[in-house]
Amino acid sequence: MARRTHIIISLMIMSAVACLPVTTLYAQQKAIAINWDKTVSVSKTTPTLQVVYNPMLRSNSPIHKGTFEALKSLGADYVRYVPWFPYPKAAVVELSEPTKKQTYWDFTYADPVMQDLMEATKGHSVVINFSTIPVWMFKTDKPVAVDDNPDEVNWVYNQGKELRDPSMKEVADYFVRLLSWYTKGGFTDELGKFHKSGHYYNIPYWEVLNEPDLEHRMSPQLYTKIYDAVVPALKKVSPKTKFVGISVAHETNPEWFEYFLNPANHKPGVPLEGISYHFYGRPAAAEQPLDSYQYSFFDQANGFLDRVRYIENIRKRLAPKVFTQINEIGNILEDHDYKGVIPDAYWNLSGVMYAYIYLELTKIGIDVAGESQLVGYPTQFPDVSMMNWKNSKPNARYWVLKLLKDNFGPGDKLQTTSIPSQDVSGQAFLTAKGKKLLLINRRNKEVKLDLPADAKNARVNYVDVTTGEDEVAQSQLENNTITLKPFAVAVLTF
Give, for all 494 residues of the chain, the pLDDT tens digit: 444 444 444 444 444 444 444 444 444 567 999 999 999 999 999 999 999 999 999 999 999 999 999 999 999 999 999 999 999 999 999 999 999 999 999 999 999 999 999 999 999 999 999 999 999 999 999 999 999 999 999 999 999 999 999 999 999 999 999 999 999 999 999 999 999 999 999 999 999 999 999 999 999 999 999 999 999 999 999 999 999 999 999 999 999 999 999 999 999 999 999 999 999 998 887 656 778 899 999 999 999 999 999 999 999 999 999 999 999 999 998 776 666 789 899 999 999 999 999 999 999 999 999 999 999 998 889 999 999 999 999 999 999 999 999 999 999 999 999 999 999 999 999 999 999 999 999 999 999 999 998 998 999 999 999 999 999 999 999 999 999 999 999 999 99
In what helix (H) or strand (E) does residue 107 lie, and over which residues does it extend?
Answer: none
Burial of residue 377 (CB within 10 Å: 0-12, 13-18, 19+) is middle
3-state SS class at 327: strand
Answer yes or no: is 7 within a domain. Answer: no
440 lies in the same domain as 397: no
Contact 352, 293 (CB under 8 A): no
Domain of residue 447, residue span:
29-42+415-493
Residue 37 belongs to domain with CATH number: 2.60.40.1180
Same-domain status, 55 and 201: yes
β-pairing verdict for 434-441 and 489-493: antiparallel
| 64 in any annotated domain | yes
| CATH code of the domain in which 121 resides | 3.20.20.80
Dihedral sign computed on CA atoms, order 465, 466, 472, 478? negative
Q: What is the SS3 string spanning 12-67?
A: HHHHHHHHCCHHHHHHHCCECEEEEEEEEEECCCEEEEEEECCHHHCCCCCCHHHH
DSSP 231-250: HHHHHHH-TT-EEEEEEES-
Evaluate if pTM is beyond 0.85. Answer: yes
Same domain, yes or no: 76 and 183: yes
364/207 Cα distance (integer angstroms): 23
Last residue of a domain, one of 410, 442, 472: 410
Question: Do 311 and 237 lie in a common domain?
Answer: yes
| Number of domains present in the structure of the chain | 2
Q: Do 241 and 278 fall within a single domain?
A: yes
Same domain, residue pair 370 and 462: no
Determine the Cα–Cα distance for residues 468 and 345; give it in Å rounded to an integer: 8
Upstream peptide bond of 373 is cis (omega within 30 degrees of 0): yes
Q: Say yes or no: 403 and 461 in one domain.
A: no
Is residue 23 situated within a structural domain?
A: no
The four Cα atoms 203, 431, 418, 444 give a dihedral, to 10 degrees, of -60
Angle between the N-to-C axes of helices 110-120 and 64-74, in degrees from 0 to 180, rounded to the nearest 10: 40
Residue 286 lies in a domain: yes
3-state secondary structure of 314: helix
